[in-house]
Structure 1
Amino acid sequence: MNAEAADALAAVKDADRKHVFHSWSAQELIDPLAVAGTEGSYFWDYQGNRFLDFSSALVYTNIGYQHPKVTAAIQEQAAKLCTVAPGFAVDVRSEAARLIAERTPGDLDKIFFTNAGAEAVENAVRMARLHTGRPKVLSAYRSYHGATSTAINLTGDARRFGNDTATAGVVHFWGPFTYRSPFYAATDAEECERALRHLEDTIVFEGPQSIAAIILETVGGAPGVLVHPDGYLAGVRELCDRFGIVFVLDEIMVGFGRTGKWFASEHWDVTPDLICFAKGVTSGYVPLGGVAISAAIAETFARRPYPGGLTYSGHVLACGAAVATINVMEEEGIVEQSARTGAELLGPGLRALADKHPSVGEVRGLGTFWALELVRDPRTREPLVPYNASGADNAPMAAFGAACKKGGLWPLTAGNRIHVAPPCNITPQDVAKGLAILDEALSVADAHMA
């Protein structure tokens, strides 16, 4: 590292330590990597270490870093019209909404823009409650819906614990997860049937007349890339129709090509009443989120004011990024590429690693969104580390993550899992490189087995 790079590194680290308050962290116990640059599927530090990003930042750089067409579009939009209040009609905002609505299923043709995913969830819940006149919302354990007030109460993982006020009108239920079935199911079909029966029982005993919405991640993201068994989402749709409940799908992590479809609900041909989106809609280049709204719910607010809004709703710079991102994905066939990468490269490659490494208990995923469940014992399926592990308890996963980074791969680890979520347009060569690094790192996980 030359003197100029060393000085830049020192300045960045010093300012970060003095002034930046990092999320989900004990501030004095972390040492964030200082990133000097990004391009495509890679980022690098000031010492010249390059990392193949198998996390897509936080699962949002769907078109990779620094795509020239999108960065140019952002610059052009900034020069033309950088910002204007959300109450005005603006060409780029209208075009972003049109492009999104064209890709949503069914009649979800109205778009309410937010700044990010958690705000999308907050507003979807508000819309459902106002539309139905009911207070409660059902959400699954093993879920993540964001860190704002309602969203964190909806969340079904450990990040809720320090924030749960028990006042958000939320009821949690068990969704299907055959590998760790809460219903003692042996097959996906059994798991689906029993999970739907459990959800129906929950609805009945909570009182259908009190339930505004059921919210689900179309594919469970943060909880471990949980792909619902065939028939489950259709079954939830039927329950919602039967009891007059709004069905909300959280596509924040999996929308815009991540699973090999524009929206993951297309895999099961299910149309919800509301879709929450964010992340991939701009590939994270400028923050943007939103809610796609069905005709029936939009009609509720045709002559009744919707009591919600945001200063930066539909920010024109973000909408310019969305228009460019969607057009690039269309022109370059990135959604289709994500599907092929999953079916032909990542899926087979990860399953081959599972056959080789006994620490891999299960492989699951779609498109460019996969997870390896790491275990201490494949027979008992005991996780490699306990639920919500920290400190010494998390040592095996920490060692595995360090081995990935040493090999030049930036992993996304959560609990006892590694989530494999590279950019949707990753090259076959980089997939092969990433799998080879994972192969080496999994030997470290194997060494920590019981």
Structure 2
Amino acid sequence: MTTHPTRPPTTGPTAVEGAGLDARARELDRAHVFHSWSAQGALSPMVVAGGLGSRVWDHEGRSWLDFSCQLVNVNIGHQHPKVVAAIQEQAATLATVAPSTAALVRGEAARRITERAPAGLDKVFFTNGGADAVENAIRMARLHTGRDKVVSTYRSYHGNTGAAVVATGDWRRVPNEFARGHVHVFGPYLYRSEFWATTPEEEGERALQHLRRVVESEGPSGIAAVLLETVPGTAGVLVPPPGYLAGVRALCDRHGIVMILDEVMAGFGRTGEWFALDAHDVVPDLITFAKGVNSGYVPVGGVVIGEEVAASFDERVFPGGLTYSGHPLAAASIVAALDAMAEEGIVDHARRIGTDVLGPGLAALAERHRVVGEVRGVGVFWALELVADRATREPLPAASMARAKSELLARGLLPLTADNRIHVVPPCVVTDDEVAEALEAYDAVLTLLDEE
């Protein structure tokens, strides 16, 4: 894999100038920016002024190893030169164009995506992000089947827009339940099994039986789609047990239900595969994707469409569209990102990092620290589930999680925490040495938590 510089530049503002810029950034943010998923009064966000590879820094030059990938999306690393250059070149050539036109760069982006998808998924509907990708996939499934209901899991996140947030299972659904026709089930999660399972096989079988009974009870003839994250991410990096997704596919086939796999977070290298579904011997009808496809350099998302669903709209209008669908800057960033990932072996690198470096390193931490209840993951997609008591699996309290985040930042690591978990999600280009640096920081902070 080609490596790129990963340190802050040596030129830039002085410490005094940088402090002023950081203060100005905070002042403007406080005065004018309304943040997502937050009570606004207590916010004090960190300032990020630049990034390169696996690191970010503020104007003063303080640097952090980015093991959050911002929102688990900077798969190719910050400021990859080929992607930046492609965006610049496209901006100088054609900065925008209507979605009704045929644009070469848009077609090239779609071709590269479908080449990585399973056979038979040959069309791409471009959106502006993951939420509206899910929104349009649900719309396609409903129109294709003539049915209304969508089944998804409680431990899931599918986006912030109308149907997507109601398909979501976590707390963010509850104050936003304005969309119709949504049904939720429990997916497999052996560590906190809803099914009294003791093995991955039992968990998978019992989760499938639960889904089967819900489908039967809701009436299969009214269900348009089963919508699942291939690997639920925000909910805790819940890698499905062997056979589970194949069982869902069989259930959908039996009842004529569209299977939608949400790969917004799990796709394009995150699991050490081009699509996370590649490891599970399953072909869905629709795949949603977004930020991982171009590492979030330009907002983009989309739906990869199987031929049967696509054929539904050969003779009738698909009633959906967006002004920025297949935006040239986004398309150019996709082409450059996927080409660079292929040329530099980045997906294989992510797989190796997970198998040989990150996975074993996190497992060693679990052996040393009583607060680690479980380590789970694949590729560069991992979670440490932290507990106050290993025997009861009582989650580590919020105050301790806040301390963990603060202590990791103080040690130069930008973490991603959610509930009682630390999500370990570096760029796919992370190096062995950077993983070692992160493991040292996790080790030190877990030691502090052990002593509480």
TM-score by shorter chain over 0.5: yes
2:291 counterpart letter in structure 1: K
For 2:449, give the aligned amino acid.
Answer: A
- Answering whether residue 44 of structure 2 is matched by residue 31 of structure 1, we say yes
CA distance in 2, matches of 1:363, 1:33: 28
**Is 1:310 equivalent to 2:322 in the alignment?**
yes
Q: How many angstroms apart in 2 are the aligned matches of 1:55 and 1:8?
A: 24
Instruction: Return the alpha-carbon distance in structure 2 between the equivalents of residues 205 and 440 of structure 1.
Output: 50
1:228-239 equivalences in 2 (<5 Å): 228-239=240-251
* Counterpart residue number, 1:439: 443
| Alignment check: 8 A CA contact 2:18 2:61 kept | no
- 1:92 corresponds to 2:105: yes
Corresponding residue for 2:393?
381
Identity of aligned residues (%): 59
Distance 2:41 2:229 in 1: 33
- CA distance, structure 2, for counterparts of residue 432 and residue 169 of structure 1: 47
Report how far residue 437 of structure 1 moved.
0.4
Name the TM-score, length of structure 2 as normaliser: 0.96
Range that drifts further, 43-52 or 120-129? 43-52
Unaligned runs of 5+ residues in structure 1 are 386-393
Tell me, what secondary structure is at the counterpart of 1:220? coil
Structure 1 residue 3 displacement after superposition:
2.9
1:5-58 deviation line (CA, Å, top 9, x unaligned): 222222211111111111111111110111121111000112321100001110
C-alpha contact 1:399 1:444 (8 A) present in aligned 2: no
| RMSD between aligned residues | 0.9
Tell me the distance in 2 between the aligned counterparts of 1:268 and 1:132: 25
For residue 19 of structure 1, the aligned residue among 21, 32, 42 is 32
The alignment status of 1:218 with 2:201, answered yes or no, reads: no
1:68-115 Cα deviation digits (max 9, x unpaired):
111011100100111000000000000000000000012111000000
Structure 1 match to 2:417: 413
Give the counterpart of 2:168 among 143, 155, 173.
155
User: Mapping of 1:397-412 within 5 angstroms?
Assistant: 397-412=401-416
Other-structure match for 1:107: 120
Answer yes or no: is 1:424 the counterpart of 2:428.
Answer: yes
Matched residue, 1:121: 134
Q: In 2, distance between residues paired with 1:13 and 1:405?
A: 18
Match of 1:43 in 2: 56
Q: Secondary structure at the match of 2:287?
A: strand
Shift of 1:287: 0.8
Structure 1 residue aligned with 2:341: 329
Partner amino acid for 1:419? H
Aligned AA (2:277): S
Contact 1:372 1:418 in 2 (8 A): yes
CA contact (8 A) 1:403 1:444 kept: no
State whether structure 2 residue 360 is matched by structure 1 residue 356: no
Gaps of 5+ in 2: 1-13
Aligned to 1:388: none
Whole-Å Cα distance in 1 between the matches of residues 277 and 328 of structure 2?
28
Q: In the TM superposition, what are the counterparts of 1:137-286 in structure 2 within 5 Å?
A: 137-165=150-178, 167-286=179-298
Alignment partners' CA distance in 2, 1:251 and 1:329: 17
Structure 1 length-normalised TM: 0.96
Pairwise CA distance, 1:177: 0.7
Q: Could you list the structure 1 runs, at least 4 aligned residues long, displaced by more than 6 angstroms after superposition.
A: none
